[in-house]
Amino acid sequence: MLNFPVPYPDELLYSTVARAGVRFGITSPKQLLDAVFSDRKVVATIDLPSHIDAISKQYPVALGLTAENLVYKHTLFPLYAPFIPEDRRLAVLDWMTHRPQAPVHVALGVTTSRIRQPENLRVCPQCLEEQLSEHGELYWIRQWQVPGCSHCLKHGALCDTQYKLQNYHRHAYVALTPTMMCLPSNSNSPHNEKRIEKRVKELLALPPARSPSLEQWSLFYAQIAHATDITRKSKVSYDLLKHKVLSSWTPQHLAQLGIPVTDHKSNWLRLFMRKHRKSHSFLQHIVVLEALLGAEWNFEDVISQVRKQIAQNVPVAYSPSKNISQSVLHAKRKAWLEMVKEQGTRKSRKTGGDHIYCWLYRNDRNWLNDVNNKYRRATRSENRRVDWNERDRMVLERLKAIKREHANKLEDPRRSTSWYLAQSGCRHLSRKLGQMPLSATFLENNSEDVASHQIRRVIRAIIDHDSPSGEMSYSKLLRLSGLSEQRMYDRTRQFLHDLGWSR
C-alpha cells in the first residue's frame, strides 16, 4: 500500500493499521486485512500482534522501521522480554514477525497470569485534545492499555471507552475517533505517585537486548535480599519481606492488580524470592523492587546488574563418609536394596524405609541415586476429585438451555462447539469432552458448520428487508449477508439457487 501511515511515538501497531483503514476509506475489516496483510484470517490483536513483517514491508528501508523495531516500539512485548529466557524471547520475536497463529500469549505467560487485564480500551481525554491539535487525528497509545496503569503520566486518570479489548469482530481494527464515548469510571485505584506508570515507561523504552536467564534473576534477588537484611541464615524471611512490601504498597492496591499478599504457602510473593523456575510478571518485579530498593533505581541499571550475575553450578561429588564403618554401610545398602527391588523407591520410603533413605542420602548419596534411578517405578494416580458423570449432566443441561434461548436469534455468530462452551461458561472443559460423552454428543449434533451459518445469515438478510426473490439483486443479498462468491460454500449456493437467487 502506498502512503501507509507511519506510527506516531508510542502508538500501538493496532492503531496504525486502524488509521490506515480510515485513511484509505476501507470500511470492511476483511478488505483491510487483504490490503495490508494479504491474509483475511489475521486477528486484530491489540497488545502482542503477529504478521508484523507484513507491516514493516509497507515502509521504505530508509525509515528504519524494521519488524524488530516495530515490535519494541509499538507493541507491549518489551514488558515481557527482560523476564523470559533468551531462547523464548527470540522465539516469540520470530512468531510475532513471521509466524501466524503462534502461541505468543501462552509463551509470555499472559494467558495464565494472575495479573488482571483491562476489559476496555482506555484513553486520556487531555492527551486526545493534544493529539487533535498537533496531528489532526487520534491514535491509541500503548501505555494506556498496560495492565496496572491507571493514570496518564502527563495528566490524570485514564478513562475506559466503549471498545472492548476482546472485540466482538475479532478481525476488525477499531480506529480512535472524536465521537468516541468515555464510560463512567468505577475505579478507586490509588494514585501512588504514578510509580507503576513510571516503571512501565522505562520498560517500554528499553532497546532490543539479550534477556537474563531465570537463574541470573534468582541470584540477583538473593543478593538484594541479603543487602536489605531480610535474610536469616541465608534464607529470606517471609515476614520481613511481607512487611517491606506492605509498607510500600497498600493491600487494596495489590488486590486490584491481582497480586494480593497473603500468608498462604503458595502465595506469589513467597515463591518470588525462591529459585525462579518460571517467568514472573513485570508488575511483580516492580512491586518487589520498589519495596526493597526504594525510589532510587531504574530498570536499565537493574537488568544490567542481573546480566552480570554469574551462576556457580559446580557439580558436587558425594562419596561415603570415612567415619562410617564398612559393616554399617554394607548393612544399610543391603536393607535399602531389598526394599527397592520389591517395592520401588517411593513405596519403600512410605512403608518404613525413610530413615534408611535419609541415612544413605547423607552418607552415601551417589550410590543411593544410582540404585533409585535403576529401580524407580512409574506411578499413576487417578484424579477422583471430579465426578465427571455429574459434571457431564450439569453441562448438558446448560447447553440445552442455551440452545432453547438462542433458537430464534438469527443474528448470533456461528454456533460452533467453542461458542456453545463459551456461552455455558465451560470453555475450559474443551479438552475434557472425552470424559463427558453426553455433552460431546450434544455438541457434535448441534454445532453449526460454516455452510449452515451462511444460510442463516442469508435468511436473516431476507427477513430484515422483507424482500422476496426478484425484488433484491443477488449482489445486494450477498452484501447484506456478509458473503462473497469466493468464500461461499456449495450448500449455501444451492440454497440461494433453490430460492430463486442466482448469479
Which of 122, 115, 116, 160 shows the shortest CA–CA distance to 46? 122
More confident residue, 170 or 15: 15
Backbone angles phi and psi of 164, in degrees to 5: -85, 145
User: What contacts 28, CB < 8 A, 6 or more positions away?
Assistant: none
Rounded to whole angstroms, the Cα distance separating 501 from 494 reads: 9
**Where is 56: in which H helix or E strand?**
helix 52-56
Residue 25: Cβ within 10 Å count: 6
Pairing, β 235-236 against β 231-232: antiparallel
Which of 55, 91, 60 shows the shortest CA–CA distance to 73? 55
Which of 119, 118, 137 shows the shortest CA–CA distance to 128? 137
Could you tell me if 96 and 49 are in contact, meaning their C-beta atoms sit under 8 angstroms apart?
A: yes
Place of cell 531504574: 298
Which of 132, 130, 145 shows the shortest CA–CA distance to 178? 132
Q: How many residues does the chain have?
A: 503
Rounded to whole angstroms, the Cα distance separating 161 from 15 reads: 15
More confident residue, 319 or 170: 170
Task: Give the type of residue at 168.
Answer: Y
pLDDT digits (tens, 9 = 90+) for 218-261: 999 998 988 888 888 778 888 999 999 999 899 999 998 889 99
Confidence band for 314, pLDDT divided at 50, 70 and 90 = very low
Place of cell 504478521: 51
Task: For residue 153, give the C-alpha cell.
Answer: 503520566
Confidence band for 380, pLDDT divided at 50, 70 and 90 = low
* H helix runs in 79-211, sequence order: 86-97, 104-107, 125-135, 195-204
Rounded to whole angstroms, the Cα distance separating 293 from 302 reads: 10
% of residues, the chain, pLDDT over 70: 93
Rounded to whole angstroms, the Cα distance separating 96 from 104 reads: 7
Could you tell me if 428 and 448 are in contact, meaning their C-beta atoms sit under 8 angstroms apart?
A: no
Q: Which of 104-108, 346-350, 422-426, 471-475 has the lowest mean pLDDT?
A: 471-475
pLDDT digits (tens, 9 = 90+) for 1-38: 678 889 999 999 999 999 999 888 888 888 888 888 88
More confident residue, 162 or 467: 162
Q: Is the pLDDT of residue 396 over 90?
A: yes
Rounded to whole angstroms, the Cα distance separating 371 from 485 reads: 69
User: What contacts 144, CB < 8 A, 6 or more positions away?
Assistant: 121, 122, 123, 124, 152, 158
pTM of structure:
0.66
Q: Which three-class secondary structure state does DSSP give residue 164?
A: strand
Q: Is the pLDDT of residue 398 over 80?
A: yes
The secondary structure of the chain in percent helix, strand, coil, rounded to multiples of 5, reads 55, 5, 45
Cα of 397 vs its chain's centroid, Å: 31
Place of cell 470492511: 28
Which of 139, 135, 125, 133 shows the shortest CA–CA distance to 175? 139
User: What contacts 333, CB < 8 A, 6 or more positions away?
Assistant: 360, 364, 367
Rounded to whole angstroms, the Cα distance separating 492 from 6 reads: 41
- What number is the average pLDDT over the span 165-189? 74
